[in-house]
Structure 1
Amino acid sequence: MFALPASVRVVLAVEPVDMRKSIDGLMALVRTAWGEDVYSGHLFAFVSRKGDRIKVLTWSRGGFVLLYKRLEAGRFRLPPVDAGAQAVTLDATQLAMLLDGIDVAQVRRQPAWTPPERTGS
């Protein structure tokens, strides 16, 4: 699909969103409900009530980009969400899996490798 740098956040709405909302309507949600900067270059994702449609909004070089995907069969499998949360942050890999219909909650990641601590000199 597309590659995203690690510095880009993906914010996924927990509650379903009316897919009739345009760029301006989605911008208003990002600003008012989440207090996020819509011009940050981060991605903001919204899933429909049925769970078969998703919109991803981002700002890119002087204009907004709106990605829209409709599944012909099945539903997008959302990741686990803490109670009371309005949104959940994903990384680029999780977004790609979500858009491909993979159940992110069922995927097990290997722990990230970190170099051993240096002791004494």
Structure 2
Amino acid sequence: MKTILRNLFFLGMFVILTSCGGSKSYSSVENRSSKSSSSKAYYEESSGLSMEDAVVIHASGSMQGIPLEYEFVGKKEGQRGIDWGLVQQSLVHEGNKSYDVLVIKVFKTNEEKTYFFDITNFFGKL
């Protein structure tokens, strides 16, 4: 039950953030990371296709971190709702790390893909 409530919280936060209408601009930096010019939130880019190669999100809280997850998937797969859709979002704890796991469906190929994000840095913070 606690996991379901936590997942609903993260999903709700994402919906609230994306409905605000503003979009942030992120630019690449030398260490293969994406950083926001207006805040300190960024991610360390990797494939994200396994827990071992998860995309590490650096943010002060969920309100900064979760949108970066969707930005990453958008850069890889195209526009959400047109090129791909969210099938499931879940939280996994492995050892001392917390991961957000997004399962998406790529519409063109009808393929499901799973992306892993290491959210240990901001998990439990707003």
In the superposition, the TM-score normalised over structure 1's length comes to: 0.27
Greater RCO between the two (CA within 8 Å, min separation 6)? Answer: 1
Give the structure with the higher percent helix.
2
Give the structure with the higher percent strand.
2
In the superposition, the TM-score normalised over structure 2's length comes to: 0.26
